[in-house]
Amino acid sequence: MLGGVLYAAATGLQYHKGIAYGLYVAGAVVLVLAPLAATRLVYRRTSLPLVEPWVFVGAAIALCVVGAAVEVAFD
């Protein structure tokens, strides 16, 4: 979200749209990281518990829904 606010400040975009864009980008990043969670390399080198891919998809959907709600609520 900080990136969205900084983008809004730099381009003159409204701040609520910048926050929504930041949430959309965060959702996209979560989806990009989902295949990494499926590799065993990460879990062999760390003591992190196994995260199932549906958690990443659910988080990405939640971030996009919140972004859309912010954009609609303040527009």
Provide the mean pLDDT of the chain: 84
Query: What are the boundaries of each domain within the chain?
Result: 2-73
Q: Which pLDDT value is given to residue 27?
A: 92
pLDDT at 64 over 80: yes
- The 10s digit of each residue's pLDDT in 37-51 is 777 777 788 887 878
For residues 20 and 64, give the distance between their C-alpha atoms in angstroms, rounded to a whole number. 8
With cut-offs at 50, 70 and 90, classify the pLDDT of residue 1.
Answer: low
For residues 26 and 70, give the distance between their C-alpha atoms in angstroms, rounded to a whole number. 14
Quote the percentage of the chain above a pLDDT of 70. 96
What is the pTM for the complete model shown?
0.78
